[in-house]
C-alpha cells in the first residue's frame, strides 16, 4: 500500500492486486487504504492524482468504488463514513 501513496505509476495494476487480495486485509489495513485514497485524490498537483494523470480514469474510479462497496458489504461502519467522503 505504501507504493500507492508514493507513485501513481502502474496504479491500475496496484488496485487490481488489492482487489484480488482484499479478503486478507484487516480493518486497520482497510482504514489505511481509505486514508491513502483520500490523500491521493485530494492532492492539488494533477501529475500525482491518478484520476487526472492516468489513461483510463473510469477503470480507476470503478476500482475505488468497488473497494468502498466491499467495505460496505463487510459492514464496517467507521469505514463506510470515510468512503462516503471519497
> Domain containing 41: what range?
2-85
Domain count, the chain: 1
pLDDT at 48 over 70: no
Mean pLDDT of 69-82: 83
On whether the CB atoms of residues 59 and 12 are closer than 8 A, the answer is yes
Share of the chain above pLDDT 70, in %: 80
Angle between helices 57-74 and 77-85 (to 10 degrees): 160
How would residue 51 be classed by pLDDT, with cut points 50, 70 and 90?
A: low
This model's pTM is above 0.75: no
Amino acid at each position: 500500500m505504501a507504493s500507492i501513496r508514493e507513485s501513481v505509476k502502474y496504479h491500475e495494476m496496484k488496485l487490481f492486486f488489492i482487489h484480488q487480495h482484499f479478503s486478507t486485509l484487516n480493518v486497520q489495513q482497510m482504514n489505511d487504504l481509505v486514508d491513502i485514497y483520500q490523500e491521493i485524490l485530494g492532492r492539488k498537483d494533477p501529475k500525482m492524482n491518478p484520476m487526472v494523470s492516468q489513461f483510463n480514469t473510469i477503470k480507476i474510479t470503478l476500482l475505488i468504488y468497488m473497494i468502498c462497496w466491499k467495505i460496505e458489504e463487510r459492514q464496517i461502519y467507521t469505514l463506510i463514513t470515510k468512503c462516503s467522503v471519497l
